[in-house]
Structure 1
Amino acid sequence: MLMNTHEARLDALRKELARQNLDGFVVPISDEHMSEYVGGYAQRLAWLTGFGGSAGTAVVLADASVDPGAAIFVDGRYTLQVRDQVDGRLYAYESVPETSVAKWLAAYAPKGARIGYDAWLHSKGWVAAVRNALEPKGGTLVPVERNPIDAIWEDRPEPSSAAALVHGEELAGESSQAKREALSAWLAEEQLDVAVITALDSIAWLLNIRGEDVERTPVALSYVLAHADGTADLFIAEEKVTAELRRHLGNAVRIMARDAFVPSLQSLAGKRIAVDPERAVEAIFATLQNAGAAIVEARDPTVLPKAVKNPVEQQGHRAAQVRDGAAMSRFLHWLEQEGPKGEVTEISAAEALHTFRKQGGDLRDLSFDTISGAGPNGAIVHYRVSEETNRTLEPGSVYLVDSGGQYPDGTTDITRTVWIGPGEPPAEVKDRFTRVLKGHIALARAVFPRGTAGHQLDILARQFLWQAGLDYAHGTGHGVGSFLSVHEGPQRIAKSAGGQAGTDQDLLPGMFLSNEPGYYKTGEYGIRIENLVLVEPREIPGAEDEYFGFETLTLAPIESRLVDVGLLTADEIAWWNAYHARVAQVIGPQLEGSDKAWLEERCRAIG
């Protein structure tokens, strides 16, 4: 029998493992910066397995006769997608957090196994967990000198050579110098000499630069060493450096070759170095330890300041939302006209939305690959349409579209679920949609005291689904960057505290988050309603502490045809009507003719 492409690649990997004297190898979706979205050169898991999600890991044992000889690990967002994209004959499907790579290797790795890993792609904590899991079986975790995937991936793309771009203070709202001085003060307070900044969005924020090296995220491949005297070393490929960038950075930022990063780490013997164990890879820790540096584990000091947006960033985001909301409204009007004809597909709908955004002006990129899910594909939480999975939007069905844009003044993210007419939606669909809507409204209307963390609010969005014995397998809200990552920490709204990064973070004024409860019926339809919100102070007469609430930033109609108004309270109806009145007031002047008339109709009061 002839092997298919991914079977042949798996076979080639096993032969390479034998050449490197390894009994197994771990393949994550990651790069040297622990990024969520990675450049084409780092898409090793997709190349090997065919999996196109943004989070996942494969483990391959060298002995193909072992059952299972390989496994792929994904969380609840990708349970359906991984089965569509990855051959179950080649890989066992494993669900995280129910299991982990460490637990799987403890169960299936042979005794005395040498399991390879790339120390530039894994965290220090991950390495410790897997090493401990292998120990009882006499196994060892071996850092490879050359990634085995790279050894067999003949047409592997080169890292991007695009120039780094200046992000002006008129957009950033604060100079790079001021940010570096604040970081310097933190280093002095903590009696530290240097902070290692490895996250690409942290570097972009600190230096007020952007880039084109990663699709959907405007960052430049680089590293930074920030010093206690307020200076910094930027390690970046020479072809990415322009005269404008040099002028912007000034004399206090030394521009060095990217290849000089490791030697510079090795020169820090005796220095007290701050390194973030969540954002810096194991190779950095090992290099500093071998050099004799004193490593102090601490959260990247740019993370919280970056998350708390200044007034310029807040206003820029509002401006971006107006353009984005107008584009979304034009698209929803177009879809309401074209969808019932039975000719629109998931791909053509996503392309149409992209076109409307481009026509709106100043779009630099999408903020992520549009999730365009018709009928049962909408039930795949992070579905990514392809030519093989592309469905037609059938009349009398549910369509879910989750999308966003990267604008110089803001990053957007919106989900709308719509009914593709004609006809009346089934009672069950309306019930589920309305329960999701009630949760969305409850979170949007929340008022909470200073010190409240994301996990304390999560139940507000789930309560009406829980009452019907229903739930959804993803977080309710994630942080969002300012012309940066669409998923940004440290804030997060999700079920559990402690186990999930960000759920313990206090919500502070100036933070952007998403509000996106959902419901998914496997094989039939998916529902999600997502707006972005801003944490803002709330004045309450007689309040005995500081209280906060949310300003809803996203402006586009929510599908009224899927609402069972009888399930809404008077307060919920009042929220709906106030929200849509604001959509009509702000977005209406951006539209003309039939688009404007449609918006006015869709924003009409209910109840």
Structure 2
Amino acid sequence: MSTPAARLAALREQLAADRLTGFVVPLTDEHMSEYVGAYAQRLAWLTGFGGSAGSAVVLADKAAMFTDGRYTLQVRAQVDGGLYDYVAVPATSATDWLAANARPGDRVGYDAWLHTRGWVAATGKALGEHGATLVAVPANPIDAVWTDRPVPSTARLEVHPDEFAGETSESKRGRIAAWLDAKHADAVVVSALDSIAWLFNVRGKDVEHTPVPLAFALVHADASADLFVDAAKLSPDVRAHLGEHVRVHDRGAFATALEGLGGRTVVVDPTSAVAAIFAHLDAGAATIIEARDPCVVPKAVKNPVEIAGSKAAHLRDGAALTRFLHWFAGEAPKGELDEISSAAKLRQFRDQTNQLEDLSFDTISAAGPNGALPHYRVSAESSRPIELDSLYLVDSGGQYRDGTTDVTRTLAVGTPTPEMRDRFTRVLKGHIALASAVFPHGTRGNQIDALARQFLWSVGLDYAHGTGHGVGSYLAVHEGPARIATAAGGYGAMGDEALRPGMIMSNEPGYYKAGEYGIRIENLVLVEERAIEGAEKPMLGFETLTLAPLDRALIDIALLTPAERGWVDAYHARVAAALGPLLDDTARIWLDEGTRPLETA
């Protein structure tokens, strides 16, 4: 079954054997993760889609693939349009499509370990109104036909020491115990992988690029906890670190433990806990309180140790990226580079820090028209040569013990066109507007998102992705609960959340011209208190963490105001001062030239 057509046919045969007429295939795992382990990549196996957000629905005589605006072009390149209809979300959700296409009597299956209870209720209701039924399957039918499906990772957990965490796991559990007491609850389910890693001050290698272990947890009102994880993955050091108040159980015992909470009041996050968790709690007659995972906000609001670590990681990472930019400036005009070799070279510079644990995501190394795919992933088959008089977009990041980075630079190879310079400068103006913003406590990302888009909007342009996402501390590169976007939604638990001091966010406006080029400028920023003389309320602003030069060849100085030119000059002076001592003489001379003040004409 090497082709998508053969896999789709095999799935339909299995559905028929299971007395089902359809099945819903999300891109997630039992923890509602954005990035999932190889064992859970069912959507990619079935359809060929390699993006990080999407889903599919398979019926007996038709199928559909659902993606948002980030993947409009990519889904058409990777998924056979003869097998699947392309459906854009959020305009049409999988639930909407099912309601319109299911027939009376249809039995549409779903895996209760891969969907939220809210989705199940909404989709079941929509199908019921058309005479069809949503059916929880005892076993995922894709697993039955995916004969070479990888097994879950067996990598061992690692201690994340206090020198990087800034707070002990015991202290974190104590905070949660106090939170439970205030809610008159006995326990809370923690199922999000990054929450578990943060709470217990452990890290793992079970998901590529995201240092988390596959586990579930229950935290109790006495500050003790039950951790459900493969015991073979726990070294004596990790067991000693967890301590006597953390009881370890096999991951497979989690469902039984939930059913054993009868008579208890249990808090569950409906956005990160799958429907199966609620079903097992209901089966045991537990009283359920729906509330947000208590790890989400403390994890997002970095403590002073984590902030210092992030700054150290960005300095180290910025020097590695700048070495790459210097190398690229010399090699790209020769016409011998391609996307995949350039990504490998950037990885090499990061490896030379001797502190890189992993990339924070697959590097987006995109030449020419591939740059117009916001979440493009280079492969041996797709890799394009980097041609003269074109744009190259590189979005990349590193995982270091002290912090996680994420940075995008757009580079001119040869001579950019006036249109390219105009678009780049409009993106830059939006980036500066957001980086310079001052706003009151309580401000949400959707209230300031327009700052980054205004200069594109003024000439009828826009981009189809959010402007900013949260970033973890040696954790997920996409972290909730806050985001900067036109509307709530997006990665994991991100949504309508106020920005708070200590949050690390991205600032990444862009512009994409289908079939020609893409532009994005991304720095990470720290939300910080901002003292303003005479202010009548507490105010916030951003400190830019990312250190790497912008490509002067793409800046149309005439489009910048004096204040914007001042921002670029100040940023470049900071980059040169911070990174210069970390570079060799040749790279430092190149950096000094690339960061000199902008001329006014």
TM-score range, shorter chain: over 0.9
Q: Secondary structure at the match of 2:535?
A: coil
Determine the structure 2 residue equivalent to 1:542. 534
Q: How does 1:500-579 map to 2 (within 5 A)?
A: 502-579=494-571
Q: 217, 222, 227: which one pairs with 1:224?
A: 217
Quick check: 1:482 aligned with 2:476?
A: no
Q: Secondary structure at the match of 2:356?
A: coil
The 2-side partners of 1:480 and 1:246 are apart by 28
Which ranges of structure 2 fall in alignment gaps of 5 or more residues?
none
**Structure 1 residue 290 displacement after superposition:** 1.6
The 1-side partners of 2:39 and 2:88 are apart by 26
Q: 424, 441, 447: which one pairs with 2:432?
A: 441
RMSD over aligned Cα atoms: 1.1
Amino acid aligned to 1:218: P
The 2-side partners of 1:322 and 1:344 are apart by 27
The 1-side partners of 2:560 and 2:221 are apart by 56
Answer whether contact 1:515 1:530 (CA < 8 A) is retained.
Answer: yes
Quick check: 1:470 aligned with 2:468?
A: no
Quick check: 1:492 aligned with 2:483?
A: yes
> For residues 515 and 71 of structure 1, do their structure 2 counterparts lie closer, same or farther at Cα, with a shift above 3 Å needed?
same
Q: 241, 251, 254: which one pairs with 2:247?
A: 254
Quick check: 1:58 aligned with 2:56?
A: yes
Quick check: 1:458 aligned with 2:449?
A: yes
The 1-side partners of 2:58 and 2:346 are apart by 39
Determine the structure 1 residue equivalent to 2:11. 13
Answer whether contact 1:277 1:297 (CA < 8 A) is retained.
Answer: yes
1:345-372: CA deviations, max 9, x gaps? Answer: 1100100100010012200000000011
Answer whether contact 2:58 2:64 (CA < 8 A) is retained.
Answer: yes
**Structure 1 residue 125 displacement after superposition:** 1.2
**Structure 1 residue 136 displacement after superposition:** 1.5
The 1-side partners of 2:334 and 2:490 are apart by 47
> For residues 498 and 419 of structure 1, do their structure 2 counterparts lie closer, same or farther at Cα, with a shift above 3 Å needed?
closer
The 2-side partners of 1:541 and 1:74 are apart by 47
Q: Secondary structure at the match of 2:379?
A: coil
> For residues 337 and 343 of structure 1, do their structure 2 counterparts lie closer, same or farther at Cα, with a shift above 3 Å needed?
same
Quick check: 1:193 aligned with 2:186?
A: yes
Q: Secondary structure at the match of 1:81?
A: helix
Determine the structure 2 residue equivalent to 1:418. 411
TM-score where L is the length of structure 2: 0.98
> For residues 241 and 140 of structure 1, do their structure 2 counterparts lie closer, same or farther at Cα, with a shift above 3 Å needed?
same
Q: Secondary structure at the match of 1:103?
A: helix
**Most deviating of 133-142 and 277-286:** 133-142
Amino acid aligned to 2:457: W
The 2-side partners of 1:498 and 1:321 are apart by 27
Quick check: 1:331 aligned with 2:318?
A: no
The 2-side partners of 1:91 and 1:498 are apart by 25
Answer whether contact 2:103 2:131 (CA < 8 A) is retained.
Answer: no
Q: Secondary structure at the match of 2:129?
A: helix
Determine the structure 2 residue equivalent to 1:84. 77
The 2-side partners of 1:136 and 1:553 are apart by 51
Answer whether contact 2:265 2:287 (CA < 8 A) is retained.
Answer: yes
**Structure 1 residue 497 displacement after superposition:** 4.8
Q: 225, 228, 237: which one pairs with 2:230?
A: 237
Determine the structure 1 residue equivalent to 2:420. 429
**Most deviating of 206-215 and 253-262:** 253-262
The 2-side partners of 1:453 and 1:579 are apart by 25
1:273-315: CA deviations, max 9, x gaps? Answer: 1000110000001111121011111000010000000000000
Q: How does 1:271-350 map to 2 (within 5 A)?
A: 271-350=264-343
Number of aligned residue pairs: give it: 598
The 2-side partners of 1:441 and 1:555 are apart by 15
Determine the structure 2 residue equivalent to 1:141. 134
Amino acid aligned to 1:587: L
Answer whether contact 1:77 1:381 (CA < 8 A) is retained.
Answer: yes
Amino acid aligned to 2:367: A
Quick check: 1:30 aligned with 2:28?
A: yes
The 1-side partners of 2:495 and 2:580 are apart by 37
> For residues 343 and 567 of structure 1, do their structure 2 counterparts lie closer, same or farther at Cα, with a shift above 3 Å needed?
same
The 2-side partners of 1:106 and 1:445 are apart by 46
Quick check: 1:43 aligned with 2:35?
A: no
The 2-side partners of 1:40 and 1:263 are apart by 26
The 1-side partners of 2:489 and 2:318 are apart by 36
**Structure 1 residue 521 displacement after superposition:** 0.4
The 2-side partners of 1:429 and 1:132 are apart by 49
Determine the structure 2 residue equivalent to 1:98. 91
**Structure 1 residue 502 displacement after superposition:** 3.5
Answer whether contact 1:326 1:360 (CA < 8 A) is retained.
Answer: no
Answer whether contact 1:323 1:361 (CA < 8 A) is retained.
Answer: no
1:305-339: CA deviations, max 9, x gaps? Answer: 00000000000000000110011001111111111
Answer whether contact 1:119 1:144 (CA < 8 A) is retained.
Answer: yes
> For residues 203 and 4 of structure 1, do their structure 2 counterparts lie closer, same or farther at Cα, with a shift above 3 Å needed?
closer
Determine the structure 2 residue equivalent to 1:267. 260
Q: Secondary structure at the match of 2:346?
A: helix
Determine the structure 2 residue equivalent to 1:211. 204
> For residues 305 and 4 of structure 1, do their structure 2 counterparts lie closer, same or farther at Cα, with a shift above 3 Å needed?
closer
The 2-side partners of 1:464 and 1:259 are apart by 53
Q: Secondary structure at the match of 2:273?
A: coil
The 2-side partners of 1:243 and 1:589 are apart by 41
Amino acid aligned to 2:519: I
TM-score where L is the length of structure 1: 0.97
Answer whether contact 1:322 1:586 (CA < 8 A) is retained.
Answer: yes
The 1-side partners of 2:413 and 2:439 are apart by 38
**Structure 1 residue 504 displacement after superposition:** 2.0
Answer whether contact 1:518 1:527 (CA < 8 A) is retained.
Answer: yes
**Structure 1 residue 204 displacement after superposition:** 0.4
The 2-side partners of 1:438 and 1:270 are apart by 58
Answer whether contact 2:55 2:66 (CA < 8 A) is retained.
Answer: yes
Identity %: 63
1:135-160: CA deviations, max 9, x gaps? Answer: 12211111111111000111100000
1:453-503: CA deviations, max 9, x gaps? Answer: 111110100000000100000000000000000000001000025899634
> For residues 546 and 360 of structure 1, do their structure 2 counterparts lie closer, same or farther at Cα, with a shift above 3 Å needed?
same
Quick check: 1:583 aligned with 2:575?
A: yes
Answer whether contact 2:159 2:202 (CA < 8 A) is retained.
Answer: yes
The 2-side partners of 1:450 and 1:8 are apart by 55
1:401-436: CA deviations, max 9, x gaps? Answer: 100000000000000000011xx3111110000000
Answer whether contact 2:479 2:494 (CA < 8 A) is retained.
Answer: no
Determine the structure 1 residue equivalent to 2:353. 360
Amino acid aligned to 1:590: L
Answer whether contact 1:454 1:502 (CA < 8 A) is retained.
Answer: no
The 1-side partners of 2:253 and 2:150 are apart by 22
Amino acid aligned to 2:249: M
Q: 173, 187, 206: which one pairs with 2:166?
A: 173
The 2-side partners of 1:557 and 1:360 are apart by 19
Amino acid aligned to 1:571: A
Answer whether contact 1:162 1:239 (CA < 8 A) is retained.
Answer: no
**Structure 1 residue 4 displacement after superposition:** 6.3
